[in-house]
A and B are shown apart, each in its own frame.
Chain A
Amino acid sequence: MAQPNTYWLFNNTSGDGANTGNASGGAGGSSSNWVLMDLVNDSLAWCSEQQTDGDAIAGTRYPVVIPDSGSNEAEKTFVKDASAAIFDQVPLAGTTAGGQSGGDTRYVFAIYFDGATAGVPYLEAWDSYEHSTATNNFLGSGTPAESSIKAITTTNAVPGSATWAGTPLAGTDSRIELDTAALTAAKNLYFNIKQLVVNGTHSPGSSTALVLTLRYLYS
């Protein structure tokens, strides 16, 4: 059980199918297509409906709008693909409250482990890759329950609701377990994620330092 290699992938189609290509991605089940992420140079971007799949990264960025009252789920989710220099859409991300094809779907983001682990892997969100604080306004300003980033594990089943609430992500205080037990062999772990901005809680602005973090054990 030496340290496993891990690979982050996303499905850039509306086909809700498994990542059968494992570390390489590519065509998967149900006409899905899995793209391997560059963890250093790629990033997630939540945008308004004006952003279009394939837009150039160098072009206009259309941010999520904080509503006058209540909350608003990001209409579209993208991976900013550094090598292709485009916004690559993740159509199944989020819920039906957003503007994509998300909802009660299972195969949206994947993390492939090529070996076993000694414990349950976690997905977390932090202010930066230093992993020392999780107090950014978008992570709830120190109140994890108010984090705008919400995720749900779909490794073993669909969320069970097209408007799943998810777990707010903020440091180790509020995070999701990506499976129910330690991995005994290579496996794909799946999750979905959304951003929900709330009037009065989240402030206009952006952060390029926030990170999603995978935490895992090996021996």
Chain B
Amino acid sequence: MKFTLTFADGVAYTSPDIRERDPGWASEDGAKRVGIREMILRMPRGIALILKGFEAYNFFVEASQALGGRGANIDAFCFCGRWRGTVLSWRIDIKTGKASKQISQYGKEYFGTSTRGWRMGLMGEKAESGIFKIKEVTK
């Protein structure tokens, strides 16, 4: 599973597999780039999660490690878009494969707590997000 960022200047960045130890959000050097225009996660069976038009974006992996368990596990992937003080969060549960959407106040986007790693999007755009079926075009 990989996500793709498209920046305002048209440059695109595709992450490593987000199930790896470095999923690529924090290590991607976007400091010199303009804001993110669109974020897409391509999932199996031609499904894609799309966020676009947000003022800021965030992505993080939720992991757990149990005393009495078997090492660290990835439990979920979270994709967030911020717009006018509100955060739209998608949480994709690895075990169930279900995606759930939540809207919260900025600073309380993860079970009432804040997250770090926010990156600039674009101002004045219409924020949109959803899960879509992608029609692949082959020749």
Enumerate chain A interface residues (CB-CB to B < 8 A): 1-3, 6, 8, 37, 39-40, 42-44, 116, 118-120, 122, 124, 126, 129, 131-132, 172, 177, 181-182, 184, 209-219
Contacts and interface: CB of A to CB of B under 8 A. Distances in A.
Nearest to A209: B68
Interface string B100-115: 0000000000110111
Given A1-B117, A182-B114, A182-B115, A214 B27 contact: no
B68 A212 contact: yes
Nearest to A131: B64
Contacts of A39: 65-69, 71
Given A3-B21, A219-B59, 10 more contacts: A1-B25, A1-B26, A2-B23, A8-B67, A39-B65, A40-B69, A131-B66, A211-B68, A219-B25, A219-B61
Given A3-B72, A118-B60, A217-B60, A211 B67 contact: yes
Contacts of A120: 110, 113-114
A40 B70 contact: yes
A211 B66 contact: yes
B27 A43 contact: no
Contacts of A181: 114, 116
B15 to A, nearest CB: 10
B21 to A, nearest CB: 4
Nearest first, the 9 closest Cβ-Cβ pairs linking A and B are A1-B26, A129-B69, A2-B22, A219-B25, A118-B60, A211-B66, A211-B68, A219-B60, A217-B60
B75 interface: yes
Contact of A119 (B25, B64, B116): B116
B71 A213 contact: no
B60 to A, nearest CB: 4
B137 interface: no
* Secondary structure dominating the interface of A: loop
Interface residues of B, number: 31
Interface in B1-43: 21-23, 25-27
A172 B72 CA distance: 17
B128 interface: no
Interface in B45-94: 58-72, 75, 78
Nearest to B111: A172
13 contacts: A2-B21, A2-B27, A3-B21, A3-B63, A6-B65, A118-B26, A118-B60, A126-B66, A182-B115, A213-B64, A213-B66, A218-B60, A219-B26
Contacts of B114: 119-120, 181-182
Contact of A217 (B68, B95, B110): B110
B65 A217 contact: no
Nearest to B26: A1
B67 A44 contact: yes
A120 to B, nearest CB: 5
Nearest to A172: B111
A6 B66 CA distance: 11
Contacts of A132: 95
Nearest to A120: B113
B88 to A, nearest CB: 17
B21 A129 contact: no
A11 to B, nearest CB: 16
